Structures are given as C-alpha cells and as structure tokens.
Amino acid sequence: MSNLKEIVNNATTSIVDVRTVMEFQSGHIPGAINIPLDEIQNKLEEFKQLPKPIVVYCRSGARSGMAMSILKQSGIHEVYNGGGLADMQFLLN
C-alpha cells in the first residue's frame, strides 16, 4: 500500500483515535477505537494485538504524531499518522 488514503480505506487497517474520551464521544471516525495519548504507554500490548497497519489520529495531528513515535520506538513499525479528524474524514471520502 503506497499512500495513506489506500491504507485508511483498507478494511484490515486499525484506526485509533488518540484524543481524550470526551473528544472521542463528541465525534469520531466510524469503527475507530479510542486509546488516549496518555494511555498508550500502558496499552502497548493491546496495540501489538491490533491488526496492522495502524493509523492514529487526533484533532490536529500533533498528538497522533507523538503516538506514532511512541509506538515505533516500542517496536510497532506499521503505524501511520492520519493527522487530524478532518484529515481522516477527507481520506475516507
């Protein structure tokens, strides 16, 4: 898979929203799971069990960038920064 749009639209891709629970509840990508950025370090095993690739997103792309770095440093390499919620909505259309 060469580009992010193909990855996001692949049925086997795991989409993870790294915003807070409150932000997630106010609207999210259908099928996304919510693992807030501050919980990622404690949920590495959960990430390792998720189908790959993994696309992380947040509100602007900053937290998802941090999440991607944490995951890659932890040995999960097939992870992509989907940017913000609006970016993801654009990619899904």
Q: What share of the chain is helix, strand, coil (3-state, %, to 5)?
A: 45, 20, 35
Question: Could you say which of 54, 58, 71, 79 is catalytic?
Answer: 58
Closest CA to 57 of 77, 28, 31, 78: 28
Active-site residue 58, yes or no?
A: yes
Report yes or no: 46 and 53 within 8 Å, Cβ to Cβ: no
Cα Rg for the chain, rounded, in angstroms?
A: 12
Residues 73 and 88: their CA atoms lie apart, in Å, by: 24
Active-site amino acid positions: 58
